[in-house]
């Protein structure tokens, strides 16, 4: 979603985006009036969010299973997405429920937030977004937006934006990463006024994800939509799942009191992976029936006893496991997850460690030379790394996803 990331990709793919030159010029269009083909989606419905670097025709996204589309309509008070009209109309024609988002640049300035909201409303109307649709405030770092203006002033500015959206007859949402929602915004004051208004971004791993794994759901109050990947089903588009039923049927409080479809604190137990090494252990449930949580081993994990002594078994990378209880300390001080009776693996191989990039970074494959994808990870972005350092061709890397590595020196 970050705009600076998108601009870099535009430069790398200029031939595919021949219309990018008009993206910085406001285009006057006649107002389009359309009726939504889909006015509601059920909880657990999948959807995408798109901007000018994606196709103007969202038919392929609908064919892949998307039931709603959140279209970028504007940014600041000078930019409109030149593809928004087509993206909204093709979403509707393909029976996807349309929504919109605006990339905020108002930082913590409530007056500027009102101006941006009015700009977003006019853009949405011009592009044919149906009345009573959702319009999200995309609040993140980029394009001069300062997210460090204080939790309370920032929340007040966001609420001012949302108030304008509601006054114009639309439903306001707030998009941000789970980290920004927890650390940079008084999020509670937002959801007190606008219950179930959060659209949260949080990825279990980097790279392609086809379906959300709710074991990695960022549990917090007030979430209606979860953005769980930036490469849904290989389409290089953000993937989202509705946590609550969503509706543009005229009921402006349709989410109030709805039952969340996020997991309970005790997830159901998945089937174990068939990809096991010859000496890989099976999941032996403890005798005291501790609640099981499913996990995904991101780096080869040796098994230890409570004393921290390694025993003769291991789990291969990319294996599904069950672990019992939460992270715990072994006698040697290491943090581990219990996978059976007196059997533990290092927690960082499953849960990862959150690190913040100090430099812009490329993502590499396991040979250390080939780029894993087009992404440039931006300075200041929190990234989840798994396990200890990997040494490839004399250089140190952290694994951030399946066959995806970032140089340690960038953290």
| CA atoms of 207 and 135, how far apart (whole Å) | 27
The answer to whether the beta carbons of residues 62 and 269 sit under 8 Å apart is: no
Question: Which member of 75, 138, 140, 280 is catalytic?
Answer: 140
| CA atoms of 398 and 38, how far apart (whole Å) | 43
The answer to whether the beta carbons of residues 201 and 227 sit under 8 Å apart is: yes
The answer to whether the beta carbons of residues 46 and 66 sit under 8 Å apart is: yes
The answer to whether the beta carbons of residues 230 and 203 sit under 8 Å apart is: yes
| CA atoms of 397 and 411, how far apart (whole Å) | 10
At CB < 8 A and 24+ separation, what contacts does 165-170 make? 165/117, 165/120, 165/121, 165/135, 165/137, 166/194, 166/252, 168/121, 169/131, 169/132, 170/121, 170/124, 170/129, 170/131, 170/132, 170/133, 170/134, 170/135
The answer to whether the beta carbons of residues 233 and 226 sit under 8 Å apart is: no
210 is catalytic: no
221 is catalytic: no
What amino acid positions are annotated as catalytic residues?
49, 140
């Amino acid at each position: 979603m970050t705009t600076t990331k998108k601009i870099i990709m535009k430069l790398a793919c200029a031939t595919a985006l021949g219309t990018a030159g008009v993206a910085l010029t406001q285009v006057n269009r006649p107002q389009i009036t359309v009726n939504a083909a889909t006015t509601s989606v059920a909880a657990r419905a999948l959807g995408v969010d798109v901007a000018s670097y994606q196709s103007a025709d969202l038919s392929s996204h609908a064919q892949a299973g998307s039931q709603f589309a959140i279209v970028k309509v504007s940014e600041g008070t000078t930019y409109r997405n030149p593809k928004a009209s087509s993206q909204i109309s093709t979403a509707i024609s393909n029976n996807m429920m349309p929504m919109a988002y605006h990339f905020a640049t108002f930082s913590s300035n409530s007056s500027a937030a009102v101006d941006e909201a009015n700009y977003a409303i006019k853009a949405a109307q011009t592009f044919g977004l149906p009345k009573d649709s959702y319009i999200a405030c995309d609040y993140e770092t980029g394009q001069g937006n300062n997210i460090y203006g204080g939790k309370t002033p920032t929340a007040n500015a966001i609420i001012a934006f949302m108030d304008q959206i509601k006054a114009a007859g639309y439903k306001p949402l707030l998009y941000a990463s789970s980290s920004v929602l927890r650390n940079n915004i008084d999020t509670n004051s937002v959801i007190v006024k606008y219950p179930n208004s959060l659209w949260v971004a949080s990825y279990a791993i980097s790279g392609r994800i086809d379906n959300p794994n709710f074991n990695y759901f960022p549990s917090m109050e007030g979430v209606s939509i979860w953005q769980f990947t930036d490469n849904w089903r290989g389409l290089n588009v953000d993937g989202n799942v509705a946590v609550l039923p969503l509706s543009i049927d005229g009921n402006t409080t349709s989410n109030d009191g709805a039952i969340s479809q996020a997991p309970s604190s005790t997830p159901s137990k998945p089937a174990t992976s068939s990809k096991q090494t010859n000496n890989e252990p099976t999941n032996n449930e403890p005798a005291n029936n501790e609640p099981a949580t499913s996990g995904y081993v991101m780096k080869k994990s040796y098994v230890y006893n409570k004393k921290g002594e390694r025993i003769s078994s291991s789990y291969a990378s990319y294996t599904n496991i069950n672990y019992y209880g939460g992270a715990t300390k072994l006698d040697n001080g290491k943090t581990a997850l219990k996978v059976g009776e007196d059997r533990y693996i290092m927690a960082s191989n499953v849960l990862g460690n959150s690190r913040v990039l100090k430099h812009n970074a490329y993502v590499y494959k396991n040979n250390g030379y080939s780029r894993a994808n087009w992404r440039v990870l931006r300075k200041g972005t929190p990234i989840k790394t798994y396990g200890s350092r990997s040494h490839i061709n004399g250089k140190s890397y952290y694994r951030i996803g399946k066959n995806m590595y970032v140089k340690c020196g960038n953290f």
